[in-house]
Amino acid sequence: MNRLIKNSLNYSLAVYFFCFLVVISINANAQKNRVNTQPKITFETTSHNYGVIFAGDNGEVDFNFKNEGKSPLIISNIVSSCGCMIVKWSKDPIMPNKKGTIKVAYNTNIIGDIKRSITVSTNDQSQNRIVLILTGKVVAKTK
């Protein structure tokens, strides 16, 4: 009788353990499949160095990216670190395998070092915030 109870308990534990492993496996696959169907933003570059430029020179730069995911990519917001930049981007979703551009115009009438950032917020779950960096130096034009 004692042996029967012991065998029954061992069998029950084995069944519970097996069910636990099956549930874990299903959950892991579901998460993996969910990630594979998400948008994925990939930038050609996340920084731009103007080098040394003169006041009044062209301060425009394009940050090109691609949606390498399987669903539409949405840029929900972009915040610049100062009011010295104008940032433009498409509010329309970027479809899978399509490209987009974030256009930045830096005010080059501000003399001095350029150390600025732009934070891009997206629906890419693997990196929902990407920081773009601008560096360089603006010097006064000599007469």
**Residue 143 in this model has a pLDDT that exceeds 80:** no
**Residue 139 in this model has a pLDDT that exceeds 70:** yes
> Is the entire prediction scored with pTM above 0.85?
no
CA distances (Å), origin 96, targets 22, 45, 71, 104, 116:
33, 19, 6, 24, 30
In this prediction, residue 12 carries a pLDDT of 56
**Which residues does residue 75 pair with via DSSP β-bridges, in sequence order?**
122
* Token pair in block for residue 39: 């948008």
For residue range 42-89, list pLDDT tens digits in order. Answer: 999 999 999 999 999 999 999 999 999 999 999 999 999 999 999 999
